[in-house]
Structure formats: structure tokens, C-alpha cells
Structure 1
Amino acid sequence: MDPIANINIKKDSSFAMLLEAQRRGYELHYMEMNDLYLINGEARARTRIVNVEQNYDKWYEFGSEQDIALADLNVILMRKDPPFDTEYIYCTYILERAEEKGTLIVNKPQSLRDCNEKLYTAWFSDLTPETLVTAAKHSLRHSGRSTVISS
């Protein structure tokens, strides 16, 4: 998950999911990508128990810290916004190891890699404006278009 302190609880769906999971009796474990690791092929993480409440001044509180096997969790919500960098990709591989052991990972790690949010629209070209995705600057100059969006 992205840093919990940065969430806007008025509009962030991650917060709504946390509230509902807690209401249903789930123990919430908070972790960021750098908390995940593999040891001898086992996916593990350093987690902190977190309690949430609908209070704009103090909406989360951390409890005890634990080191756990991800396979011991029922569900992991992958709520990290890209950048789609090496750390992000490695994180999906670690989550995939937990998934292989039976933990439900939402969103599916392979899908996070395969369905890049910036490129996935290419599979629906009949529904999108004319689009060119390239790393070659000369292709942009010769595309015949005057609008360029870069990241």
C-alpha cells in the first residue's frame, strides 16, 4: 500500500475497504512494498496491525509489529499505485508466491504486470482516440500530430 498517512480518507477507496474489512472482523495488517521479502522461496513481510476509524483527525492507529508468512493471511489487497518500476515488479513476484500457497491477492499479481494501466487501452483501439506509444522521439516528430503527452 502507499504510505497510509498520505491517504485522503474522504475519497480514497483503500480507506473504505479497510473500514469494511475491519467491520467484518478481519485483523488488518499494514505493509508497504519494502516490507515484503522472500526467504528460501517463502513470501514473508514485516507488518503492523492497524485499526482504522472514520475520524479525520486520527483515522488510523498502528498496533504491534510482526514478521509473518504471507501464506498465513487470508487476503492481501495490493493497493500500491505505480510507478511501474523494478521494485513494483519484484513486489508482484513476491505476492505471486503467496498466491501459489493459497492466499487471495487482490489485484492478481500477474494481471498487475500484464495489464499496465497506461498501455492496456491498446487492446480497445476502436474505443480510444488515435494513440501512439513510443520511446523513439523521431516517431513523435513524424506522427503528423501536434499534441504530445509524455511521462
Structure 2
Amino acid sequence: MDFLFIADPLESFKIQKDSTLAMMRAAQEAGNRLWFCQSRNVLWRDDFVVADCQALVIKPSSTHWYELGDIESRSLKSFSAVLMRTDPPFDIEYLNTTWLLSAAVRQGAKVFNEPSAVRDHSEKLSITEFPELIPPTLVTRELEAVEHFHQTHRDIVIKPLDGMGGMGVFRVGADGLNLASIVETLGENGARTLMVQRFLPEIAQGDKRVLLIGGKVVPFALARIPQGNEIRGNLAAGGKGVAMPLTEGEKRVAEKLAPILNQRGLFLVGLDLIGGFLTEINVTSPTCFVEITDQSNFDVPKFWLATLEKALA
């Protein structure tokens, strides 16, 4: 089979732990042909959605680890699967790419995750569909609403809706120190919507990443544990990643959401759970394949590939 990966520049990959690279390796080792392009190389031309792409070979070297062929123009429907793996932020150009990918789907392309489903699922706001699973949460642009929420819950976390990797996450304790300043700065004086949640002390045991693949739950989570005085467990913010079996509570949440999200075309999903509460539903480019595989007896990339092959059959 031919797999097209739409991803960030290959030279930007963190090759020791990149989930997209792990997918590529698994696909290549199983005898599939790899193709690569960036989202800017997806275009509408001559009545078709095409990619100006290159054949890709993954090599064992840790320095010169890939080899690219000449640029070829191919319709997206000519690939066995198109994997959208461009990292957030979900900006206007990301949105434009999903619209092109939706056009490709109408022409017969098989795109994972389904682009209309990605558009419909804000990685932060989508949790509001499942209020019974989330901590006390406020979504607003109004400082007064945040102040009232803080008076109720005393210890809160504030974050922008379009952040990633823990970017722009602030905790405000009972003293309310700098609350107005944080809201005004993050919210650009009311121009941007913010999410506010009750602080969950269970973050000390980790912000758990739980992977859903093809409606199935990966049995190990990656607990991203904050270090030092940091409240953010995100690996990009210096958190320590520790793989561990899912708790019964985490399993219940994951098993409830897995078939619902898969039915919508969200083949690969990364749930974020703190203390059993759902805090995010990541659908753009979920990660943690390598860390879970390296620390457990569960090979996530091979499971991803086997599940994808079944979906394509």
C-alpha cells in the first residue's frame, strides 16, 4: 500500500520520540511505500486535490535518517491512505488544508483523521459534550465571569483555547494574585476566549495521555508528571513521561468515548485525563507512541498499523 504522510518538515522531527516517525517506520517495515509532503504542498489542480509529494525511505541512521525522491504530483485518491500529521496550532491555514482534504474525500481519498471530524472537534471545547466526565469548567471572554468562577473554586487553571504543549497555562490560587492581569493578557482584553477549570491536585500523579485507535483503547497511558514547581505535565514543558496501565476509572472514560469518536471518523485520538477527569480530546496530531512502547510490552505503532489495515480492508 501507498501511505501519504502530510507532516511538518522532516528535519524538525525529534527522531528519538516522534510518533509520526514511529508510524512511518512501522508502515515501511511491513512493506508499505511511504510518501511525504507538507500541508502547503496539498492543492486543487485540474479539478482534483493533488499533492506535490516525494517518495520517502526511512533509514536506520540517526543522522541521515531519511531519503526523499523527486517531486511527483499525485491525486490524493491514488493513495491507500492519507495521514494528516501536521502539528497544531489549528490556524486558518490548517483549516484551509482540512477543506482541501474534505474535497479529496469526496473524490474518493481515505484521509485519517476524517477532516470534517477534525474541524468539528476543538481539542479543548469538545470536552463540553461530555459534562459528566470533566472538572468544573468555564469558557468565556469576560473577566467578571472568571472572577466569579475563582470565588467559587478558589484554585483554578486558565488556558487559551488554541494553545498546545502547555503553552499559556496559568494557575491562580486562593489569593487571586494577578488574576485580572493574566485574564487580560491571555485573553487580549476580551478578544480571545479562554477556558478556566478547577485546579486538580491529582496533576501531581500526572496528566495522563490515553490513546484511542480505531475505536480501541491502548491499555497503557503515558503519565506526564510535572517536575519541580511546575504545574504543567506536558513533555514540551519539561514533564516526565511514565507509562502505566490504565486505572479502572480511566478505562471507563476511554471505553465510553472510543466508539463514539471512531464512528465520527476520528481514527486516532489522544485523551488527556487528570485524576480521572477528561481535560482535552486531541485529534490533530496525537503523540506518545514511542514513550508508551518503550516502557511497556505494548507496541503502539504496530497496533496502529494493524488497526489501520483493517479499516482500509
TM-score normalized by the length of structure 2: 0.45
Deviation at 1:40, TM superposition (A): 4.7
Residue-pair matches, total: 151
**Structure-to-structure mapping, 1:125-144, within 5 angstroms:** 125-144=131-150
1:116 paired to 2:125: no
Q: Which blocks of at least 5 consecutive residues in structure 1 are unaligned?
A: none
1:58 paired to 2:58: no
| TM-superposition CA deviations, 1:30-71 (whole Å, max 9, x none) | 111111111254111211221113332221121111122112
- The residue number in structure 2 matching 1:3 is 9
User: For 1:12 and 1:30, how far apart are their aligned partners in 2?
Assistant: 15
Task: Give the aligned residue type for 2:146.
Answer: L
User: For 1:31 and 1:137, how far apart are their aligned partners in 2?
Assistant: 43
Deviation at 1:101, TM superposition (A): 2.2
TM-score normalized by the length of structure 1: 0.88
User: For 1:87 and 1:135, how far apart are their aligned partners in 2?
Assistant: 24
**Structure-to-structure mapping, 1:29-44, within 5 angstroms:** 29-44=35-50
1:21 paired to 2:27: yes
Any idea what SS the aligned residue of 1:47 has? strand
Aligned pair partner of 1:82 in 81, 85, 88:
88
User: For 1:68 and 1:136, how far apart are their aligned partners in 2?
Assistant: 48
Task: Give the aligned residue type for 1:43.
Answer: V
Deviation at 1:135, TM superposition (A): 2.8
Which is higher, the Rg of structure 1 or of structure 2? 2
Residue 41 to residue 82, structure 1, CA distance change in 2 (3 Å):
farther
1:105 paired to 2:111: yes
1:45 paired to 2:51: yes
- The residue number in structure 2 matching 1:147 is 156
User: For 2:127 and 2:99, how far apart are their aligned partners in 1?
Assistant: 24
Structure 1 window deviating more from structure 2 (13-22 vs 49-58): it is 49-58
Task: Give the aligned residue type for 2:95.
Answer: I
| Larger strand fraction of residues | 2
User: For 1:7 and 1:94, how far apart are their aligned partners in 2?
Assistant: 25
User: For 1:70 and 1:136, how far apart are their aligned partners in 2?
Assistant: 44
* 8 Å Cα contact 2:77/2:110 also seen in 1: no
User: For 1:92 and 1:73, how far apart are their aligned partners in 2?
Assistant: 17
Percent pairwise identity: 32
Deviation at 1:26, TM superposition (A): 2.4
Deviation at 1:87, TM superposition (A): 0.7
Task: Give the aligned residue type for 1:80.
Answer: T
Any idea what SS the aligned residue of 1:71 has? helix
Any idea what SS the aligned residue of 1:142 has? helix
User: For 1:45 and 1:136, how far apart are their aligned partners in 2?
Assistant: 43
Deviation at 1:147, TM superposition (A): 2.6
User: For 2:17 and 2:131, how far apart are their aligned partners in 1?
Assistant: 30
Task: Give the aligned residue type for 2:88.
Answer: P
| TM-superposition CA deviations, 1:60-85 (whole Å, max 9, x none) | 12111112211211111111122111
Task: Give the aligned residue type for 2:140.
Answer: T
User: For 1:14 and 1:120, how far apart are their aligned partners in 2?
Assistant: 24
User: For 1:79 and 1:135, how far apart are their aligned partners in 2?
Assistant: 30
